[in-house]
């Protein structure tokens, strides 16, 4: 490759002599251009930046040292050669400070000048190669970035990223996780309900693309694939946004069914306030997704709404083998629970065990059960016999008896959690009914309004309310208003439009339409006793 040279001297004959001293093309340079002074050199450099500038020191308007300084400021990679008829130390020292390649004294020796330019050419080649290699590495890095980001997210979900290095990874992988609150959502596409004309893999890709297009940008969601599902990390400016996010995910599930013909369920984890907490939110999202066997598919399930209150990971983190048992306890599948207990005891006691090993094993079991009960606010006396030394009793049991005892204890926990969940649901639905009783006349009463009052997502509210009452909330509210309207028609001598307003209807015509649909006759005829 040939590099460009600019000669700068107010004596043109000196520059012409320098040009004639070398065979420029043979040493890898273009024939030099010429500038009469520093100002002209700056203009030429602006039009086409030269690779090398060779300048005299003493020139009108601007000295060679001043020119060199300006060029280095504007074009840091430029090479400077300073030549002068003055063998002065101060000039040489300033040339060194300006990082000039050479300080050459006149008259200029052709051999010395050739050596200087050959050395500069080698330096420019090396720099060009390094720059090209850097560009290649940068391009390769940018091409690999999506994969690196997904690997990072996967490690983050599994808790395999050192907390001290998280900020570095975020910077290196160009990921913005600014929170301040985070939540993980797992978008699960059913493998058993797939249209014939498409594979599950393509259907999942279609669902992910739809999610990236339709889930509101305000959550700044990061999407990636993990273990066959699409995982989303959402970021919220406030804690209350988790409810709105849950509702949006619930709407998306119905949209995916309509647009992609995909049965999608979204498990939503706990809200956390740190990037490292995303691991815990992911665990919650997995648990929430497993509840689809109870609550059904094509909806969003938020773990904080459907599970009894649990404590943080630092307070309650079961050993790996026991985690499956606790997961089965939370589900309403007794057979699966018993199978998990049998597997746990069988695997833990296979091979040779000393008496001491067995005692430690029993201690672990009892400790895990106590921690689980504490984490779910269950009193031990509701599971174990009051006044009994549990350890003393259990440590005397042989393997088969231990398995039976653990099954019984876990089934008690399962029933207690079911009762707690039922009580919570009944209390929750009861509050909703009370709210209707107090506000049925409010024309703005809606699902969103009552959910805001109760502090839950409309997705969860609608599911639980229908499960407990057998009616949707809108149907329940309509029935309640109609019952009130009937009483008012019979007991009060009021116009229909007045009664309509008293039971929450701004439009009397719509009130009459709903009333006739409910009772088969208009309000006025009903009032007159003309019921069919």
Fold match flag (5-129 vs 176-307)? no
What does the alpha-carbon distance between residue 489 and residue 496 come to, in Å, rounded to a whole number? Answer: 8
Question: What does the pLDDT read at residue 283?
Answer: 92
440-532 CATH, one of 3.40.710.10, 3.40.50.2000, 1.10.10.60, 1.20.1290.10: 1.10.10.60
Q: Which of 231, 237, 273 is nearest to 249 (CA)?
A: 231
Asked if 268 contacts 282 with a C-beta cutoff of 8 angstroms, the reply is no
Question: What does the pLDDT read at residue 141?
Answer: 64
What does the alpha-carbon distance between residue 531 and residue 500 come to, in Å, rounded to a whole number? Answer: 19
What does the alpha-carbon distance between residue 7 and residue 3 come to, in Å, rounded to a whole number? Answer: 13
Asked if 66 contacts 31 with a C-beta cutoff of 8 angstroms, the reply is no
Domain 5-129 superfamily per CATH? Response regulator (3.40.50.2300)
Q: Which residues contact 69 (CB under 8 A, 6 or more apart)?
A: 98
Please provide the DSSP assignment of 300-349 as one string: EEEHHHHSPP---TTT----HHHHHHHHHHHTT-HHHHHHHHHHHHHHHH
Question: What does the pLDDT read at residue 311?
Answer: 40
Residues of the chain with pLDDT under 50: 309-320, 531-532
Question: SS3 breakdown of the chain: % helix, strand, coil, rounded to 5?
Answer: 60, 10, 30
Please provide the DSSP assignment of 135-159 as one string: HHHHHHHHHHHHHHHHHHHHHHHTT
Quick one: which H or E segment has residue 128? Answer: helix 110-157
Residue ranges per structural domain of the chain: 5-129, 176-307, 308-421, 440-532
Question: What does the pLDDT read at residue 315?
Answer: 38
What does the alpha-carbon distance between residue 111 and residue 115 come to, in Å, rounded to a whole number? Answer: 6
Question: What does the pLDDT read at residue 295?
Answer: 78
The order of strands in the sheet holding 229-236 is 222-226, 229-236, 181-189, 264-268, 300-302
Q: What pLDDT, in 10s, does the model give residues 116-160?
A: 999 999 999 888 888 777 767 667 667 778 888 889 999 999 999
Domain 176-307 superfamily per CATH? Reverse transcriptase/Diguanylate cyclase domain (3.30.70.270)
Q: Which of 70, 62, 64 is nearest to 82 (CA)?
A: 64
Question: What does the pLDDT read at residue 88?
Answer: 67
Instruction: Record the pTM.
Output: 0.52
How far are the Cα atoms of 151, 185, 470 from residue 310, in angstroms, in the given order?
Answer: 30, 19, 29
Q: What pLDDT, in 10s, does the model give residues 400-459?
A: 888 999 999 999 998 888 877 766 666 778 888 989 999 999 998 988 888 888 888 888
């Amino acid at each position: 490759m040939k590099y460009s040279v600019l000669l700068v001297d107010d004596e043109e004959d000196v520059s012409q002599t320098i040009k004639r001293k070398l065979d420029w093309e043979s040493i890898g340079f273009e024939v030099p251009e010429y500038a009469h002074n520093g100002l002209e050199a700056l203009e030429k450099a602006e039009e086409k930046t030269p690779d090398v500038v060779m300048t005299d020191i003493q020139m009108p308007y601007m000295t060679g040292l001043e020119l060199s300084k300006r060029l280095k400021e504007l074009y840091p990679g430029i090479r400077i050669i300073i030549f002068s008829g003055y063998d002065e130390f101060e000039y040489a020292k300033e040339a060194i400070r300006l990082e000039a390649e050479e300080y050459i004294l006149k008259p200029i020796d052709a051999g010395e000048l050739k050596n200087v330019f050959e050395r500069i050419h080698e330096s420019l080649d090396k720099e060009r190669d390094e720059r090209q290699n850097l560009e290649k590495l940068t391009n390769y890095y940018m091409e690999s970035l999506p994969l690196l980001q997904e690997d990072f997210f996967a490690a983050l979900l599994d808790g395999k990223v050192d907390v001290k290095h998280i900020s570095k990874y975020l910077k290196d992988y160009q990921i913005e996780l600014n929170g301040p609150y985070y939540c993980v959502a797992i978008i699960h596409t059913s493998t058993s309900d797939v249209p014939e004309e498409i594979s599950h893999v393509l259907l999942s890709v279609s669902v992910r693309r739809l999610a990236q297009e339709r889930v509101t940008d305000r959550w700044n969601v990061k999407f990636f694939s993990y273990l066959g599902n699409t995982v989303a990390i959402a970021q919220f400016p406030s804690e209350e946004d988790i409810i709105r996010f849950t509702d949006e995910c619930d709407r998306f599930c119905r949209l995916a069914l309509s647009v992609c013909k995909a049965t999608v369920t979204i498990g939503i984890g706990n809200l956390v306030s740190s990037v490292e907490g995303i691991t815990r939110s992911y665990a919650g999202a997995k648990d929430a997704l497993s509840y689809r066997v109870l609550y059904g598919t094509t909806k969003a399930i938020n773990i904080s709404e459907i599970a009894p209150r649990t404590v943080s990971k630092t307070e309650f983190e079961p050993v790996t083998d026991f985690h499956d048992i606790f997961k089965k306890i939370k589900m309403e599948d007794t057979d699966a629970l018993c199978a998990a207990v049998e597997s746990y005891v069988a695997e833990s006691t296979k091979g040779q065990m000393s008496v001491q090993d067995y005692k430690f094993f029993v201690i672990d079991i009892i400790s895990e059960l106590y921690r689980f009960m504490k984490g779910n606010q269950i009193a031990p006396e509701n599971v174990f016999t009051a006044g009994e030394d549990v350890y003393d009793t259990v440590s005397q049991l042989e393997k088969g008896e231990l398995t039976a005892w653990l099954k019984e204890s876990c089934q008690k926990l399962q029933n207690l959690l079911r009762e707690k969940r039922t009580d919570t649901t009944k209390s929750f639905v009861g509050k909703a009914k009370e709210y209707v009783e107090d506000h049925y006349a409010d024309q703005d009463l809606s699902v969103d309004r009552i959910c805001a009052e109760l502090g839950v997502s409309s997705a969860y509210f609608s599911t639980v309310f229908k499960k407990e009452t057998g009616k949707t909330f809108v149907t329940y509210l309509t029935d309640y208003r109609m019952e009130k309207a009937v009483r008012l028609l019979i007991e009060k001598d009021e116009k229909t439009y007045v009664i309509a307003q008293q039971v929450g209807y701004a439009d009397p015509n719509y009130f009459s339409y709903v009333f006739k649909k409910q009772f088969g006759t208009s309000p006025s005829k009903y009032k007159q006793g003309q019921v069919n």
